[in-house]
Structure 1
Amino acid sequence: MKKHTVAVIVNDQPGVLQRVSGLFGRRGFNIESITVGASEEVGLSRMVIVSSGDDHTLEQIIKQLYKLIDVIKVIDLSANAMVSRELALIKVNAEPSTRPEVLGVVDTFRASVVDIATNTLMVQVVGDTEKIDAMIELLKPYGIREVSRTGVTALNRGNVSKL
């Protein structure tokens, strides 16, 4: 199974996210990640959806999305070179005795400490999904209290606008 990253340009209207996610659920397509935000055009939003499946599954996803009235354009970002990023906030145990080790992991991943408490640190890390997964694995032995991830957002590389 291959991961597919799809950008969906939609009208910025109430209920559009529910209709798009409902379509995936009804068709049995799993959403691994979904992010939504304003696009460069007023009145339109950009959804970035990561899903797994073969090429036929991707083709079906695109065809079904175009059947929704509020969908303006669907772009298979994973078909070309793309830049994708995710943000995670990780609250990890950091007793005074282990704090230097935890800070070493933070520095290695070029992450930053955004909150310090008596026995914990909150770390912000930005990067691709694999980078965040790797950092979480290295912080697990210290005791992760909480993790919050944004999901993937992405754009194709280069000068061409896809909208």
Structure 2
Amino acid sequence: MKHTLSVLVEDEAGVLSRIAGLFARRGFNIESLAVGPAEKTGISRITMVVAGDNRTIEQLTKQLYKLVNILKVKDVTNIPCVERELGLLKIQATKENRSAILEIANVFRARVVDIAHEYLILEVTGDPGKMVAIEQLLHEYGIVEIARAGKISLTRASNVNTELLRNNLNRKTLIT
């Protein structure tokens, strides 16, 4: 199972290197990684996605706390969160398929950030499912390059689980 960890660290040189080293020594791959300033000066938030069972993630969390400069580690996998990724997709866009590509971009609220005679670059922001869906649809047109930022996540103050709501709405729609 994939787990999303939110880690608050002191913004010091070498912190990310020590975290990566810990994961490497334990034989774990970080599937997604995003680092940026947090709400307080001198503090950074690292959001990472790691595969493992609950026991393994608990052990990794304990190991992270042993590192210098780690302030807080939270597994937000099963907590209501807002999750986003950013992707740039360069697509081969001919005169014949350009309008179809732009229709798909419109449906996914993607922005055209560069246009040339034979290519388009789209900027897509959304949850990880949205990213996979647009990639699948655009694949047939010829994706030339993809650059994706790691997932970022914040827990919801409202504590509303939109995934649960979406699933319940889908069930009600199927029943009626």
CA distance in 2, matches of 1:79, 1:70: 26
Q: Which residue of 2 aligns with 1:56?
A: 55
Q: Which residue of 1 aligns with 2:26?
A: 27
Give, in angstroms, the shift of residue 124 of structure 1: 0.5
2:12 match: secondary structure: coil
Q: Which residue of 2 aligns with 1:158?
A: 157
Q: TM-score, normalised by structure 1?
A: 0.94
CA distance in 2, matches of 1:80, 1:159: 11
The question of 1:43 aligning with 2:38 is answered no
Q: Which residue of 2 aligns with 1:3?
A: 2
CA distance in 2, matches of 1:108, 1:43: 39
CA distance in 2, matches of 1:159, 1:97: 46
Give, in angstroms, the shift of residue 137 of structure 1: 1.1
The question of 1:128 aligning with 2:127 is answered yes
1:51-94 deviation digits (Å, cap 9, x = unpaired):
11110111011001001011011111113101110000000000
Structure 1 residue identity aligned to 2:15: V
Kindly report the root-mean-square deviation, in angstroms, between the aligned alpha carbons of the 2 structures. 1.2
User: Any stretches of 5+ residues in structure 2 without a counterpart?
Assistant: 160-176
Identity %: 47
4+ residue segments displaced more than 6 Å: none
Q: TM-score, normalised by structure 2?
A: 0.87
Structure 2 residue identity aligned to 1:67: K
Q: Which residue of 1 aligns with 2:106?
A: 107
Give, in angstroms, the shift of residue 4 of structure 1: 0.7
Give, in angstroms, the shift of residue 159 of structure 1: 5.9
CA distance in 2, matches of 1:106, 1:131: 12
The number of residue pairs the alignment matches comes to 159
CA distance in 2, matches of 1:151, 1:34: 5
User: Any stretches of 5+ residues in structure 1 without a counterpart?
Assistant: none
Q: How does 1:54-93 map to 2 (within 5 A)?
A: 54-93=53-92
Give, in angstroms, the shift of residue 18 of structure 1: 0.7
CA distance in 2, matches of 1:18, 1:145: 31
2:140 match: secondary structure: helix
